[in-house]
Structure formats: C-alpha cells, structure tokens
Amino acid sequence: MLVHNKWRIIRLLTLVGLSLLLVLLILFIVVMSRTFTLKENLGLQFAQWENTTIISADIIFPNVFSSSLVKHEVVGNYSHLFTVLGTDPELVPYMLLAHIDVVPANEVDGWEAPPFSAKELNGFIYGRGTIDNKQCVMGILQAVEYLLERGYVPRRGFYIGLGHDEEVYGYNGAVNIAKVLKSGGVKLQYILDEGLAVMDGIITGLNGPAALIGVSEKGQATVKLSASTRLGHSSMPPKENSIGILAAAITRLEESPMPRLFGYGPEQSTFEHLAHKFQFPLRFMMSNLWLFNPLLSRVMERRPDMNAFVRTTTAVTMFNSGVKVNVLPSHAEAFVNLRIHPAQTLQEVLDLIKSTISDNRVKLELVDGFDSLPISSYDEQSFGYQIIKKTLLDMFPQVTVAPSICIGNTDSRHYMDLTQDIYRFNPTWLRPGEPERIHGINERMSVQNYEEIVLFYFQLIQESDIRILPPSHTGQHEL
C-alpha cells in the first residue's frame, strides 16, 4: 500500500513538473516573439522599457506600411529603406535620410526628465534623440503618412533611408543602403540629410534667423600618438618617461592650432549670403572677406562653434597609460580627432602634426581619415537646393537661407556615388544654449517645432514633384 502511494505521489509530482515546464516554455516563446517585434520596429518607444508599452511603426504609420506605392526593406539587419514610387519614370528620384540610433544618455547627469521618457515639459519633448535625429525620422514618416492618407500620389519617386548606426560612422546601415541602391543602378537628383539647422540668435550680430544648408562637410582625421620608454621601478625614474613625452607632444599640438583659413572654403559664401543681415560695419566686413579675413578670424576663433568654421580643429579625445603607482609606464597612447577645413588636405594636416610635435620618440599613426567632401551645387539652377530653399521660405519668410559647411560628418557621406548634390539640413530651430543639448543633457524639441518639421517634409515632397525649376530672376535679368 505504502509503495503504491509513493508511486502515485511521484507520478503526480512529475506531472506538475512537466506542466510547469510547459508553461515556462510557452512564456519563453511569447517573450521572445515580443522581443523580435521590438527589434524590428523603428525603436520608436513611447513609454519606458520596463512598462514595454511599445507602439510599433506599422501601427503609427498604417498607410506607409500598407500602401502599394511604398516598398519597405530592412537593410543591414536594423536599417530601413523605403522606396516610394512616382508616376513619372522620367523624373530622377531624390532621397531623404535620417538615423534612428542615438548616443547614450544617463539621467544622473542632470536631465530634467528621464532621457528615454519623451516627457513633455512646458511645450518641449525631452529625450535623447529629439533633435538628433528622431525629429527627422518621425517628421519624414509622418509627412508621408499624411500625404498617403490624403490620397497623394507622387509624380517624382523618392527613397527614405533610416540608418541604425550613424553615430558610429554608418558602416553597416548607410553603407549597405547605398550598396542596395547602387546595385539597382539608382541615380539621385539630390539627397537631404541631417546636418545644419535654423540658427536663431546664434550668429553674433546677425539680424534675424539664418537657415544654413550644409553643401559640404569638413574632412576628418583620427590620429594615434604613442610613446614607449623602459618599464622599471618608480624609485629610479629616468628624466622623462612615456607619459611625459606624450603629454609634451599633446601640449605642443594644443598650443599651436592649425592655420586660420576662414574665407577660403564654402564659409566665404555663407557670410556673403548673410552679409546684408548684419549692421554696419560688420556688413561691410562680411562682404569683403578678402580684406577682413584676418580680423574676423581672430574674433570668431574665440567661440568653439565659430572656430570650427575658421580652421581645422584639433581635439585630444583619449589618453591611456600606466598600470600601477610604483611602476614606470612603458607605453602611453593618445587619440587626436581633427576636423579638416576644406582649404586643407588630410596629407597637409598630417605633415603639420608631425612638424609641430617634432619629436621622433612620438609615433604617429593615421587610424582613419578623409578630405572634406565635394561642394554640392547651390546656384539658381540647382534643383535640390532651390526646392529646399523655396519650401523653407514659404514656411518661414523671415529666415535668410545660406549655403554652409557641416562641421560634423553624416550618413550621406556614404551616398556620394549616387548623386552630386547632397544637402545637410533640417528646420530644427536652434537658439542660444540649444546646440549644447545635441549629444548633451536635456536634449529637447518643442512641440511647435516638431509640427513645423512634419510640415516641412510634407511640403518638400510635393515641391519636389515639379519637373523643372521655373526660370530664375537672375536668368531673366540677364536675358
């Protein structure tokens, strides 16, 4: 009897155990399928991760994801390519770019709202990525959604590329989207990517806001410097060791900024376009940069954001050495990130670094580098530039539009084989104190500005349907 009961209990326990395992397996499958949905969506999170109230993109933009006019592809695992068909195959398509990845953010750094909460405070949405670059991701998709909802059928086809790794150079996202397009023989009329913005009160002395359209990008060099000396006991130090040698080299670099080149690149055009918005005597000086370059450069270089337009900038970003307090460091290494002015080449920059350091004990290696990018057209016949300009002026007649150079690099760099005309701009309004929020704390976007961004893309897409630009005023005068 006892033995019989024992077997009954064992059978019961086995059954309970198996049922528990089954429940756990089902739970695992449900959680995993949820995780894949999260990975596949655009990362558009409207609530905290713990609550997992995630709304996927096809729910927010039902028309974009169901329209027969739109083809959606996932590229490089996480990036998105949308192809929107146009009715006129004769018209060369264009492309809108944005990126869905962001740089890290930590609430303890002093955020007024948690950086991934998208909390609204006094008319501003707070959150990492709100001005870099979710405003464009959402702005573009929302504009297309509204257009499709209203039955709009574009005449000129276009592409939307949403990269997932722009903040780490775009080697998997943008590079692969560009490859897909290239393999399909695609040529683009123009590309519009993130970059510069509407500067309101940022440029000292300028009356009114300026919309700066990046027609080029500065080049870039990352250089590794290193020094090696003998390992040993700290009680018997030599006169110099690897740390001191490298620190001295870095001090020399910081104390000898690259030459002033203000006025020898596209920034000359920027200030010529803006000159009439300055008061005398700045107006006169801006219109005659050939004469006032030296003076203006010396004033501009005092502000880091302006200095970026004056020269190749030098930033020491990493320094590593030493393992123990009483061990002499055998090796020290540092990384220097330079942003190259268009009037200088990568090779010239490397030669200057070498001669400035002027110490053979310091080894110099180029990790990565490229010259500044070609200048896109911005004359009266330039289709992309004029479409962007018209869209902007229709919305913000008070703004002065000027070509400029983007001081950082963007995903569009990888699309250079597809078009000659790349523009880096979106109508995010930047006021004093706002540029510091990019990659910084309390990044935010006003609700009003977000609406303007949606409207901007909504109008731009329709403006781009024009077959050819109307004859320019300049052209008519010349006739």
Ligand X SMILES: CCCCCCCC/C=C\CCCCCCCC(=O)N[C@@H](Cc1ccc(O)cc1)C(=O)O
Residues 164 and 170: their CA atoms lie apart, in Å, by 7
CB of 239 to ligand X, least distance (A): 38
Closer to ligand X by CB, 166 or 421: give it. 166
Closer to Zn ion by CB, 58 or 167: give it. 167
* 165 binds, options Zn ion, ligand X, none, Cβ within 5 to 8 A by partner type: none
Torsion-angle region of residue 358: left (phi > 0), alpha (psi -120 to 50) or beta? left
Residues 420 and 429: their CA atoms lie apart, in Å, by 27
CB of 410 to ligand X, least distance (A): 5
Residue entry with tokens 């707070």: 126
Asked about 200 being catalytic, the answer comes back as: no
Closer to ligand X by CB, 98 or 362: give it. 98
Q: Rule CB under 5 A: choose which of 57, 63, 78, 132 binds Zn ion.
A: 132
Closer to ligand X by CB, 363 or 431: give it. 431
Asked about 166 being catalytic, the answer comes back as: yes
CB of 259 to ligand X, least distance (A): 19
Closer to ligand X by CB, 57 or 430: give it. 430
Residue entry with tokens 């699309």: 415
Torsion-angle region of residue 434: left (phi > 0), alpha (psi -120 to 50) or beta? alpha
Q: Which of 427, 426, 420, 410 is nearest to 379 (CA)?
A: 420
The residue sitting closest to ligand X, measured at its beta carbon, is: 408
Contacts to ligand X by CB under 6 A: 166-167, 169-170, 194-197, 199, 202-203, 305-306, 309, 406-411, 413, 430, 435, 438
Residues 69 and 164: their CA atoms lie apart, in Å, by 24
Q: Which DSSP string corresponds to 89-123?
A: TTSPPEEEEEE-------GGGT-SS-TTS--EETT
Please choose, out of 90-98, 189-197, 279-287, 468-476, the segment that lies near Zn ion by the rule CB under 5 A. 189-197
* 199 binds, options ligand X, Zn ion, none, Cβ within 5 to 8 A by partner type: ligand X
CB of 309 to ligand X, least distance (A): 5
Q: Read off the tokens for 232.
A: 């040993």
Q: Which of 271, 268, 290, 269 is nearest to 282 (CA)?
A: 271
Closer to ligand X by CB, 160 or 197: give it. 197
CB of 201 to Zn ion, least distance (A): 22
Q: Within 10 Å of residue 387's Cβ, how many Cβ atoms?
A: 24
Residue entry with tokens 């997992």: 52
Catalytic residue among 165, 166, 193, 434: 166
Q: At 379, which amino acid appears?
A: D
Please choose, out of 78-86, 144-152, 194-202, 391-399, the segment that lies near Zn ion by the rule CB under 5 A. 194-202
How many helices and strands in the chain, by DSSP H and E?
Answer: 14, 17
Binding mask 148-187 for Zn ion (x = CB under 5 A): ----------------------------------------
Residues 98 and 118: their CA atoms lie apart, in Å, by 19
How many residues contact Zn ion, by CB under 5 A?
3
Per CB under 5 A, does 442 bind Zn ion? no
Residues 256 and 360: their CA atoms lie apart, in Å, by 18
Binding mask 336-355 for Zn ion (x = CB under 5 A): --------------------
CA dihedral in degrees (287, 299, 200, 390; nearest 10)?
30
* 380 binds, options Zn ion, ligand X, none, Cβ within 5 to 8 A by partner type: none
Closer to ligand X by CB, 70 or 438: give it. 438
* 86 binds, options ligand X, Zn ion, none, Cβ within 5 to 8 A by partner type: none
Closer to ligand X by CB, 229 or 313: give it. 313
CB of 104 to Zn ion, least distance (A): 11
Closer to Zn ion by CB, 128 or 156: give it. 128
CB of 170 to Zn ion, least distance (A): 10
Helix axes 134-149, 447-463, angle to 10 degrees: 60
CB of 435 to ligand X, least distance (A): 4
Per CB under 5 A, does 133 bind Zn ion? yes
* 413 binds, options Zn ion, ligand X, none, Cβ within 5 to 8 A by partner type: ligand X
Q: Within 10 Å of residue 386's Cβ, how many Cβ atoms?
A: 21
Residue entry with tokens 């290239």: 182
* 133 binds, options ligand X, Zn ion, none, Cβ within 5 to 8 A by partner type: Zn ion
Q: Which DSSP string corresponds to 123-163?
A: TEEE-TTTTTTHHHHHHHHHHHHHHHHTT---SS-EEEEEE
Q: Which of 180, 188, 179 is nearest to 156 (CA)?
A: 188
Phi, psi for 190 (deg, rounded to 5)? -160, 165
CB of 475 to ligand X, least distance (A): 30
Residues 294 and 289: their CA atoms lie apart, in Å, by 9
Q: At 469, which amino acid appears?
A: L
* 109 binds, options ligand X, Zn ion, none, Cβ within 5 to 8 A by partner type: none
Please choose, out of 33-41, 86-94, 128-136, 422-430, the segment that lies near Zn ion by the rule CB under 5 A. 128-136
The residues that touch Zn ion, with contacts defined as CB under 5 A, are 132-133, 194
Q: Which residues are catalytic?
A: 101, 166
